[in-house]
Amino acid sequence: MSDLRVSIGGFFVLVGAIVGAAGLTADYRAPLEGANVNLYCGVSMLIFGLVMLWLAWRKSRS
Amino acid sequence: MRLALVDYLILALYFLFVLSIGWVVKRKVATSEDFLTSGRSVPVWITSLAFIAANLGAQEVIGMCASGAKYGIMTAHFYWIGAVPAMLFVGVFMMPFYYGSRARSVPEYLKLRFDEKTRALNAVTFAVMTVFSSGISMYALGLLFELVLHWSFTASVLLSAAIVLVYTFLGGLTSAIYNEVLQFFLIVLGFAPLAVFAVMKTGGWSGMGARLPQVMTHTWMYAGKAAENPMGVEVFGLVAGLGFVLSFGYWCTDFLVVQRAMAAESMSAARRTPLIAAFPKMLMPFVVIVPGIAALALSHMALGYSIPLKADGGPDYDQTLTTLMAQFYPSGMLGLGLTALMASFMSGMAGNVTAFNTVWTYDLYQGHIRKNAPDSHYLWVGRVTTIAGVALSVATAYLATHFNNIMDFLQLVFGFVNAPLFATFLLGMFWKRATGHGAFAGLLMGTAAAAATHGLTVAENKGGWLGATLHTFPSTMAQNFWIAIFAWSTCFLVTAVVSLASVPKAESELENLVYGLTRIPHEDVPWYKRPAPLALIVVAALILLNVMFW
């Protein structure tokens, strides 16, 4: 159902963007992990969300 | 644990999405079947993800992490023996009867195959179990958020109950299913990074393994004798008890999961649902169990991290996941992790409420209270039952606060009830001669046998309430496996014997309900859309995983 693909894709694009932005702008670090966790994870989720949206778009065209 | 604005923002976004999905789905709900069974129209990718997500509640996520810290990678047996084979079986061999019978629920299948009293027994026990499970989900949610975030128990319980109520009231089963898929992705994307970062910190898989006793990173090597592994199990008990009885008893008969497959858009989709679901299921140990093992390794490194202790001095493994998150996730991902936990609790509730709904409305209400009303009446009943179901769950959550051991007690009772079920279905689906009297007697005696085994044996100071102690098990897990074995065997024997002594239904009444009287349509589809090839691929992958982590 392209409805659900759109909802899920949209959700993760938004969340990925928010977390990624937190990674870029705010200086949150975890006690045991020095790497920029927010940036890595935010970008991954954003990509996942875009892939879902692309799948939904492809489905709606066929 | 302190939350920043970004964390609350993510949680709020999740609530918003979940409610809007409910609102969008509402427009497609016109009949009681739309509301309670999704009108058999859901595509296979959704049903398969919902199939595992329905079972992947937060207690499992937290519990598996805890078990990882306590027992190591042997916990993966719960997935690799304790779930996947049963999922393959239900997809390949049992779905044709569930879907082909056009039953709207598992108890309804029992009515068509056997008789009304067997259906009623199953429906009543299932309905009670779902309400309690739902209540326990909320109780665990309230406790967790109180402990970790200092939110009021009442506030978290009522807030999440209200949101679940709204989206299930609006969209019924379809809403619950869609939100379960969202929950699945949240769990994977929310916890896989934790596994990655935690294991990397310990020096990779081999580095982690070097810091722990060998048994923690091997699944079979130490399973031969009970004394050699922390679970206290040996191979036969493990394979027969867990692998066969308990797992098949759950995955093949529990309406909560089977309902998701029955909502699929075709017979082929219904059969493939558990098979496709087996792929992510096989990989879940790496998301939920491995962080626990890493946490144990980390507590042995001088990093200032250790698994929190309970009041009596023993480790509080249930806090492993949340404390690990606090160490590896900054604000941002922390919010996502907590949202994933919240999502799993809420899906656990929603899944149970929607299953309860269907069983109450069709099996109990339509079956016994008001049989021939127009469909709009049942749609209305379904909606009202949603409210009642959520209310009962909230009440159960509060009840649990007064009785500390209620969770353990309920797990025990569920075990007694579930263990014999698979024998009943196996005989019902594959042996034409099985009768209603046989099934009913078998279920009762099987449950009694489970209770008796528990009453006559002792493990970790539990059980043995029937006076004599005939055997002592090294762990409660081993005891549970053997209770299951005895219950199943008793049910099987009693069902067979009583069936042979009673009159079966005429073959014309058993069409599409039993092996030999059911036509499975052959569809002209490519090989990857057929159940048998898919099942074989899953088996190959499963063997590979077991060999890799021997």
Percent of all residues in chain B with a pLDDT value above 70, rounded to a whole number: 97
> Residue B193 and residue A37: Cβ atoms within 8 Å?
yes
The DSSP-derived string for B38-102 is GGG-B-HHHHHHHHHHTT--HHHHHHHHHHHHHHGGGGGHHHHTTTHHHHHHIIIIIHHHHHHTT
> Residue A48 and residue B333: Cβ atoms within 8 Å?
no
> Residue A32 and residue B46: Cβ atoms within 8 Å?
no
The 10s digit of each residue's pLDDT in B330-360 is 999 999 999 999 999 998 899 999 999 999 9
The residue of B15, B41, B189 whose CB has the most chain A CBs within 10 angstroms, and thus the best one to mutate to test that interface, is: B189
End-to-end alpha carbon distance in chain B: 37
The 10s digit of each residue's pLDDT in B507-550 is 888 888 888 888 777 777 787 788 888 999 999 999 999 898 88
Question: Which among A11, A22, A48 is the nearest to B182, CB-wise?
Answer: A11
Q: Does B464 touch chain A (CB under 8 A)?
A: no
Q: Does B181 touch chain A (CB under 8 A)?
A: yes
Question: A53 to chain B nearest CA, in Å?
Answer: 14
Task: Find out whether B420 and B202 touch, Cβ atoms under 8 Å.
Answer: no
Measured CA to CA, the distance from residue B293 to residue B308 in angstroms comes to 15
Task: Find out whether B36 and B184 touch, Cβ atoms under 8 Å.
Answer: no
The DSSP-derived string for B118-139 is HHHHHHHHHHHHHHHHHHHHHH
Question: B20 to chain A nearest CA, in Å?
Answer: 9
Closest residue in chain B to residue A40, using alpha carbons only: B193
Question: CA dist B84 to B397, B428, B437, Å?
Answer: 31, 22, 32
Question: CA dist A30 to A27, B197, B223, B278, Å?
Answer: 10, 11, 37, 34
Residue with tokens 């569920």: B414
Closest residue in chain A to residue B1, using alpha carbons only: A30
Alpha-helical regions (H) of B203-308: 204-210, 235-236, 247-251, 255-262, 267-288, 290-300
Q: What is the pLDDT of residue B483?
A: 87
Measured CA to CA, the distance from residue B208 to residue B544 in angstroms comes to 21
- List, in order, residues 6 or more apart from A56 with CB less than 8 Å away: A2, A5, A6, A9
> Residue B197 and residue A37: Cβ atoms within 8 Å?
yes
Q: Does A17 touch chain B (CB under 8 A)?
A: no
Q: Is B305 left (phi over 0), alpha (psi -120 to 50) or beta?
A: beta
Measured CA to CA, the distance from residue B538 to residue B441 in angstroms comes to 36
Question: Which among A19, A32, A40 is the nearest to B327, CB-wise?
Answer: A32
Q: Does A47 touch chain B (CB under 8 A)?
A: no
Question: B266 to chain A nearest CA, in Å?
Answer: 15
pLDDT in tens, chain B (550 residues): 788 999 999 999 999 999 999 999 998 889 999 999 998 899 999 999 999 998 888 778 898 999 899 888 888 888 888 889 999 999 999 999 999 889 999 999 999 999 999 999 999 999 998 998 899 889 989 989 998 889 999 999 999 999 999 999 999 999 999 999 999 999 999 999 999 999 999 988 888 888 888 878 888 877 777 677 776 667 766 676 667 778 888 889 989 999 999 999 999 999 999 999 999 999 999 999 999 999 999 998 888 888 888 888 888 888 899 999 999 999 999 999 999 999 999 988 999 999 999 999 999 999 989 899 999 999 999 999 999 999 999 999 988 888 777 777 777 777 788 888 889 999 999 998 999 999 999 999 999 999 898 888 888 777 778 877 888 887 777 788 888 888 999 999 999 999 999 998 888 888 888 888 887 777 777 877 888 889 999 999 999 998 988 8
3-state secondary structure of B463: strand
Measured CA to CA, the distance from residue B20 to residue A14 in angstroms comes to 15
3-state secondary structure of B371: coil
Task: Find out whether B189 and B336 touch, Cβ atoms under 8 Å.
Answer: yes
Q: Does A12 touch chain B (CB under 8 A)?
A: yes
Closest residue in chain B to residue A47, using alpha carbons only: B189
Max CA distance (Å), chain A: 49
Chain A residues with beta carbon closer than 8 angstroms to that of B193: 37, 40-41, 44
> Residue B331 and residue A37: Cβ atoms within 8 Å?
no
Tell me the angle at which helices B320-328 and B153-202 cross, rounded to the nearest 10 degrees: 70
Q: Looking at chain B from residue 22 to 41, which residues have their Cβ under 8 Å from any Cβ of chain A?
A: 24
**How crowded is the C-beta side of B389, counted as CA atoms within 13 Å?**
32
Measured CA to CA, the distance from residue B1 to residue B327 in angstroms comes to 10
Q: What is the pLDDT of residue B225?
A: 72
Q: Is B219 left (phi over 0), alpha (psi -120 to 50) or beta?
A: alpha
Query: What values do phi and psi take at B463, rounded to 5?
Result: 95, -160
